[in-house]
Amino acid sequence: MDENAASADIARLEDHIEALQESIARCRKIALAAKLLIAAGAVWLVLSLLWVVPFITAIVVASIAAVIGGIVLAGSNSTSWTQAEARLNNSEAKRAEMIEGIEMRVVGEDGPTVH
């Protein structure tokens, strides 16, 4: 593989790595949203059951749905996050391997530098 093709492959891998890092960042945000959804639903449910806030059936059902939806979202997101991290680790390892395979030349060994 010539140097230009290797550089192009490394550049493509770096773009892929950057996309995976953005995907993982989105997963972090979704995980936070899922936790907030679970907490908000649970708090509202507890407050309704303790009669701290008025017991309105529709709101209680919505709080139960929020807890269940948050749990489902967290589980699905966890799987996506794990898969994205595995792909990121594989891509980074492949990039490191490709970089090691390139014969680097040391600057200044070609001859004397004339200023």
**Angstrom distance (rounded) from CA 15 to CA 6:** 14
Taking the domains of the chain in order of start, what are their residue ranges? 3-99
The pLDDT tens digits along the chain (115 residues) read 577 888 899 999 999 999 999 999 999 999 999 999 999 999 999 999 999 999 999 999 999 999 999 999 999 999 999 999 999 999 999 999 998 888 777 776 666 666 6
**Angstrom distance (rounded) from CA 35 to CA 88:** 25
Task: Provide CB contacts within 8 A for 94, sequence distance 6+.
Answer: 13
Q: Report which DSSP code applies to 27.
A: H
The dihedral sign for the CA sequence 43, 49, 54, 59:
positive
Residue 106 is predicted with a pLDDT of 73
**Angstrom distance (rounded) from CA 90 to CA 107:** 31
Q: Can you give the pTM of this predicted structure?
A: 0.79
